[in-house]
Structure 1
Amino acid sequence: LERLVWLVNGSPTVYDAIFPEVIDHIERNAENDREYRYVLADHARCLAFMLGDGIVPSNSGAGYLARLLIRRALRFMDKSGYRDTLFSIVAKHISLLEQDFPELAGARDRIDEILEIETGKFRAAVEKGRAMVKRHMKKEGKITAEKLIEFYDSHGIHPEIVKEIAGVEVPANFESMVADRHLKAQKKEKREEMPSYDVSTVPLYYEKDYASEFDAEIVIADGTTVILDQTLFYPEGGGERTDTGVLVQNGVTAQVKEAKKAGNAILHVLDRKLKKGKVHGTIDWERRYAMMRHHTATHIINAAARTVLGDHVWQAGSELDEHEARLDITHYKRINEEETERIEKVANEVVARAIPVEKTFMPREEAEARFGFRLYQGGAPKSSELRVVNIEGVDTEACGGMHVDNTAEIGFIKITGLERLQDGVERIRFCAGERALEYMQRQERLLRDVAAVLGAQPENVVKAAEKLVREWKSARKEVEHLQKNMGAGAVAYEGVKIITSDNLLPSAIKELTREKAVVISGSVKNERAILTIASSPDLPIDCSEIAREVGKMMDGGGGKKTIAQAGGSPERLAEAKEKAIELVKAEITRRMKK
């Protein structure tokens, strides 16, 4: 259609026909070269849709492509002397598209923030990159094609910057070489090849998800691995750990250490051999129920994060067992404390609403038509039939894991930690139910213990800690002052002050070795002795050599010319110190005679 509009319009290019306002905007704000106006306009339009659809710039997958486009656009802006921000061009597109794509208007602020953050990262990468390339050239004298790709792919240093600094030739197929590198990286490691069995195991855990005991028959016994005709043991998958429990046969009990899928069969790995025939199975219900709570809580946390942080949030991975769960989500910056509290609050509001958790098998086409592609938070399964887990009005996902029947069963969700897994991916750690209560009780015990040590009530712990830190800092300054004045009592040898006080602080050692001085200071920490030898830069003494020699009496030693250490048993410290003093004096005498 766009080409048809171009043909009818008679414009110089398709860009002039489709978004002339954007081209005009770029031309008015570019100081010199107009050569890049079309590619800038095209990249900005693409970014409006990519970022509007929730793609978060990163170093992998679709996020890598978004970052690639952003940085390419920024380079073209620099070349053309464009005076405004990249978002100013993207915003122009949004204003032209928002009538047909209203979701872009809703994402405007988020897109602006993402582009501001990415611009800052690009500028920092360029500055860091220039220094990195110069260091490499100084050391190696050349830059290979592979190194050129590494600079670009791992550090964000564009080959044109490298060419400007080092004068290297950029391969004509450079971008293809980068793409090939990514394709190789995306090739998954070969999975463990599972034996093929011409049998099927009926998964009872879906229709009887609250049952803990069952009867079955061992149809294949292969060492300590057996296959049952039906089972309640959930095999590990979708980030959820395997069920464990026991199988009993004729009074013999075998522990089920692991259940895993092999085609249509489910393998049960035991701690002892069992024979073909009837068995009675019991799963570890406490473990299973804790994981059911954690799995449903994972879906709720995902939905809560999307509510608080924005529609760009997608699940990037998850893992759970009976103790805790973790959810990896796409997000363009660190999650702060206020956002964490809001996510937790929203999640627990869902728990308190006691919403039924529907678990239904349905045809793929029907599920997609009803719920859309948000179904595939954990990835798109290949089967034509999906098991859909639906928490009405909160979250709907295609999921084969074990879940509770109602959100109220979770009891309580507590976020226990956050970390940045990689650029563009945040990890949320949490626990639910009894595990959440146990976590809170541990935190309360810790608070009471700290309060007891500080001699304060729990509610006054922060004030008491602040007072203690102030007093400690004041005392440390006083100690530093006293230690720095110890030089007055030093032993003079050939015009050099030799200070042998123990337990000196690093700052005091530095102050004492400013001029014509040597410090030999011992200390003992965690049942290990450390002997520090330091000298002022104006003395022709190599402390590392002395530390290595003294280290022969201990467990070794070494360091720099002006400061070094030897470490070992506290029993040898006094002897090692005397040896160090002797070596220092000998070194001073030898050097002075020269």
Structure 2
Amino acid sequence: MIEMSSTQIRQKFLDFFADKGHQVLPSAPLVPQDDPTLLWINAGMAPFKDYFNGSATPPNSRIATSQKCIRTNDITNVGKTARHHTFFEMLGNFSFGDYFKEEAIEWAYQFLTEELGLEVDKLWISIYKDDDRAFEIWHQDIGIPKDRIVRMDKDENFWEIGTGPCGPCSEIHYDRGIEFGCPDGCKLGCDCDRYLEVWNLVFTQYNKTEDGEYLDLPNKNIDTGVGLERLASLLQGAPTNFETDLFMPMIEFITQNCDVEYGESKEADLAIKVIADHIRSITFAIGDGALPSNEGRGYVVRRVLRRAVRYAKVLGLEAPFLHKIVAVVVEVMGDHYSELVKREEQIVKIIKQEELRFEETLEQGMNMLDEVIAELKEDNLDQIPGDKVFMLYDTYGFPVELTEEIASEQDFKVDLDGFEKAMQQQRNRAREAREDYDQGHGELELFKDLRKSLGASQFVGYEEQAVRTEVLGIVKDEQQVTKITAGEEAKVILEKTPFYAESGGQVADKGIIETDSASLKVIDVQEIADVIVHQVELEAGSLEVGAEVKAQITSELRVATARNHTATHLLQQALKEVLGDHVKQSGSLVTPNRLRFDFTHFEAVTKEQLRKVEEVVNQKIIANLAMKIEKMELEQAKEVGATALFGEKYGEQVRVVKIGDYSLELCGGTHVDQTGEIGFFKILDESGIAAGVRRIEAVTGQEGLNYVQQQEDMIADVATKLKANPDEIVDKVVSLQNELKSLEKEITSLKDKLASSQSEDLISKVEEINGVNVLIDGVDGLDNAGLRKMGDNLKQELDSGIIILGSKVEEKVAFVAMITDDLVEQGYHAGEIIGQVAQVAGGGGGGRPTMAQAGGSRPDKLTAALEKAKEIIVAN
């Protein structure tokens, strides 16, 4: 066996199969690009599903990869076993109708024994029980003894998912020795770590039909997978995957930052392993564009990250800590996965932000869970109700799995059925809310019927702004009608229309529909069931189905909208340039007056970054780039690199909008012909609207000019009030601020002098009550700070005593109470006294036994409140 680093193993594998005629492809991103059935790329073959089923043609009939993978279905086993991980690398070689069993088996054996030096007599082989050909190759051609070839049933050595391509498997195992086995002896297939599965060879040779028949495939395929982590553990003599060079740098970093040694404590080791594993998953997932959120793969990222945070707390590592380990992951993996190096800074920021966000709610959630468990223990119950689990999830962001883990540590179960019931109730409430909203839109079925009878609407607005057309239908109050008259509102369907229906964030066109005797104002346009529906107000005359009309949009509004829509394309590309490739559109609004663009980003965009984005967009406007819009097949659009909106449904034919060589997007909206027509672009605001989602609002063209002019008018107005030139106002404001600070200091000094002067007068008003020196009085014009200062001065004059002062301040009243230490020992308490005093004046307050402050809303009750103070002391 040859000792190798993980980097050497990976490269040797790829080089080996490159020499065998394989095209080495880079790892696909963890986020599936065109497969909505997958949350993550979870196997080496996952990116090639279309090649295996024949729906797409591979670039080469032989391919080899080292594929990044994420699986979280066994997340609770991570750290408890030697091999479970949430992130791993799958080395694989694939054949699409090229070579088959003979070559796959021969090359796997050759790589393991000749390239890696694994001992031949420690190799064990499992095959599907009926796969005689695989047995012949392993035994007769390769020379593996019969007693080390084990036939296994379908559930172990046959790969299939429903109907479609499938086939038998052959797994290569390595006998690590009896010290890794069960005490009473074991055999291949045991759950212990003695027989380590190294490589799985899948021979896709059948097509399973709906009737359950297994028919021979005309083109047979090979799909293999070998875990890099497992190979590294063998070649580096590591007892588990965690002691390899893929994990030890992270483990060493973690232990260096906490008072724990790896290998000393089972509990600590579990925490260390979980963190080391999870930080790899989080780093790679975020690097491939999956941001933490409450849905889909974003929820997986958040769940894994929060689980790691909790285990960090077990080690005494306070958040934020995980983000510090990213640099170690990049150092270990960055040589092969250069995207980590490129995006390291972004990954660190996102993880740190998410840690801080979770820290805010973790303590509250943990306290709540502890309270729930304590109550259940008192009632001798051992299951956390589903509604409580849902409350933790919904209110505190506690992943259900985290609640399960914490509960199990205290021998509690979780009512998952009850949780699902609570979740369903929430979904029902949301659906009912949607149904309530949808009331009044009951004509949907009506328009579906109209679509069948009238056909889909013909939109000609890209080329025409006014057309002669025919009225095909009129709908009023969710009923088809044949005629409407002046003053009525209705929905009108035209044979063809220049009106753009609201779509893709762009608002609808406005305009008019008219005949010789009728005039209709178009106030909205929607597409319902493929029918373009014009919401109209009939201003004069009457309109009947079948009438010939002229439909004309308001050109100025269309042009202004087009400016803003093209500007959003420029803005998106500029944001990618300035902030990074992780930026993705999350929503938009394009109107004639302004544009709004929502995008994924992990923190507020700085003033400097916004300035740069604005500068880039305006540079492209000044460059007067030409717009090119063409229709093409969806697959062709993807091949040329057009940006698509994630989650958007596209037809086979798509519209591709190209702006010079700068931007390329799928878009159905209206645009200018040259970027110079936008005129000017100005960002008005940037804000956060959700976790990981930011919003920019901006204006262009005339609205941009209007904004600048408004700012100029404002500056001029301020300059006039300051009696300065516009270019002097900053210096003038600074000067005024300095002057204000000086005056505030002077006022404070005068107040102190006033308090000191009044203190001298007040000391003569001290009276003795029950043998205690007491000063109770009202003073004029002092705020809380002034009263406290006066109280301190008076207290210094009294060796022993109680001081209670009140003052009217801006239609309110303030109180202060001070008591010397000797009287506190006798039972007097400033906080308790002042609270009762303030109540008389319509307020409240409290504080320490020696000093307390309070306020009230009834200055007219000041005298009565001070009398109450005297009553309290007399009664003490």
Shorter-chain TM-score: what band?
A: 0.7 to 0.9
SS of 2:671's partner is coil
1:360-399 → structure 2 map (5 Å cutoff): 360-371=630-641, 374-376=643-645, 379-399=647-667
Aligned-partner Cα distance in 2 for 1:28–1:592 = 66
Match of 2:235 in 1: none
Structure 1 unaligned segments of length 5 or more: list them: 524-529, 549-557, 567-575
TM-score, length basis structure 1: 0.80
Give the distance between the partners of 2:396 and 2:638, measured in 1 at CA: 39
Shift in Å at residue 152 of structure 1? 5.2
Asked whether 1:521 is paired with 2:790, we answer: no
Q: 1:545 maps to which residue?
A: 839
Match of 2:613 among 343, 361, 370: 343
Q: Distance in 1 between matches of 2:374 and 2:840?
A: 33
Determine whether 1:459 maps to 2:753.
Answer: no
Conservation of the 8 A alpha-carbon contact between 1:134 and 1:165:
no
- Name the residue aligned to 2:77: none
- CA-to-aligned-CA distance 1:384-442 (integer Å, 9 cap, x gap): 32222222432222222222122111111111111111221111121111111111111
Sequence identity percentage: 24
Higher mean C-alpha displacement, 243-252 vs 346-355:
243-252
| Higher share in helix | 1
Cα pair distance change 1:282/1:522, threshold 3 Å: farther
Give the C-alpha shift of residue 88 in structure 1.
4.7
Q: Paired residue for 1:580, among 843, 846, 861?
A: 861
Q: Deviations over 1:439-474 (max 9, x none)?
A: 111112212222222222222222221221121122
Deviation of 1:519 after TM superposition, in Å, equals 2.7
Change (3 A) 1:535 1:281: farther
CA contact (8 A) 1:27 1:37 kept: yes
Classify 1:457/1:155 alpha carbon distance in 2 versus 1 (closer, same or farther; 3 Å).
Answer: farther
2:473 maps to 1:220: yes
Q: Deviations over 1:344-384 (max 9, x none)?
A: 11111111221222233322222222225x3225x422423
Q: Distance in 2 between matches of 1:497 and 1:140?
A: 53
Residue 91 (structure 1) aligned with residue 330 (structure 2) = yes
Alignment of 1:182-261 (within 5 A): 189-190=434-435, 192=438, 193-195=441-443, 196-197=446-447, 198=450, 199=454, 200-208=456-464, 211=465, 213-223=466-476, 224-225=489-490, 226-261=492-527
| Contact 2:385–2:414 (8 Å) recurs in 1 | no
Aligned counterpart, 1:563:
854
After superposition, the C-alpha distances for 1:545-573 in whole angstroms (9 at most, x for unaligned) are 3344xxxxxxxxx554653443xxxxxxx
Instruction: Choose which of 462, 468, 471 in structure 1 pairs with 2:736.
Output: 468
3-state DSSP of counterpart to 2:347? helix
The alignment partner of 1:409 has SS state of helix
Normalised TM-score (structure 2)? 0.56
| Partner of residue 477 from structure 1, selected from 711, 723, 745 | 745
Which deviates the most, 106-115 or 435-444? Answer: 106-115
Residue by residue, what CA displacement relative to the aligned partner does 1:181-231 show, whole Å, maximum 9, x if unpaired? 4996697735633512313432222232xx2x3333333233412222222
Q: Shift of residue 59 of structure 1?
A: 4.2
CA contact (8 A) 2:518 2:543 kept: no
Post-superposition offset of 1:116: 4.3
Q: Partner residue of 1:409?
A: 677
Question: Across the two proteins, how many residue pairs are aligned to each other?
Answer: 560
Question: Residues 482 and 376 of structure 1: is their aligned pair in 2 closer, same or farther, counting only changes over 3 Å?
Answer: same
> Residue 141 and residue 484 in structure 1: after superposition, are their counterparts in 2 closer, same or farther (change >3 A)?
farther
Conserved? CA contact 1:480–1:505, under 8 Å: no
Deviation of the 1:124 alpha carbon: 5.8
Does the Cα contact within 8 Å between 2:504 and 2:668 map onto a contact in 1?
Answer: yes
> In 1, Cα distance between the equivalents of 2:316 and 2:754?
61
Question: 1:390 and 1:436 mapped to 2: Cα distance?
Answer: 24
- Establish whether residue 66 from structure 1 lines up as the match of residue 319 from structure 2: no
Task: Report the Cα distance in structure 2 between the residues aligned to 1:342 and 1:281, rounded to whole angstroms.
Answer: 43
Query: In 2, distance between residues paired with 1:486 and 1:166?
Result: 66
Per-residue displacement from partner, 1:217-262 (whole Å, max 9, x unpaired)? 3332334122222222222222222222333344443332221121
8 Å CA contact retained: 2:512, 2:521: yes
Q: Give the aligned partner of residue 786 of structure 2.
A: 508
Structure 2 counterpart of 1:17, from 231, 234, 238: 231
| C-alpha separation in 2, matches of 1:111 and 1:176 | 36
* 1:275 counterpart SS class: strand
Q: Which digits, 9 at most, give the CA deviation of each residue in 1:37-75, with x for residues without a partner?
A: 775565444334322222233444433322222232344
2:385 and 2:418 in contact (8 A); partners too:
no
Q: Larger Rg: 1 or 2? A: 2
The one-letter code of the counterpart of 1:467 is S
Instruction: Provide the rounded CA distance (Å) in 1 between the counterparts of 2:872 and 2:665.
Output: 77
What is the CA distance between 1:300 and its match in structure 2?
0.8
Structure 2 vs 1, CA of residues 165 and 590 (structure 1 numbering), >3 Å: closer, same or farther? farther
CA change 1:203–1:39 in 2 (3 A) is same
Unaligned runs of 5+ in 2: 1-43, 45-89, 93-107, 113-170, 177-195, 198-226, 233-240, 256-261, 379-383, 477-488, 768-773, 793-801, 819-829, 847-852
* Partners of 2:375 and 2:425 in 1: CA distance: 31
Question: What SS is found at the alignment partner of 1:376?
Answer: coil
Q: What SS is found at the alignment partner of 1:97?
A: coil
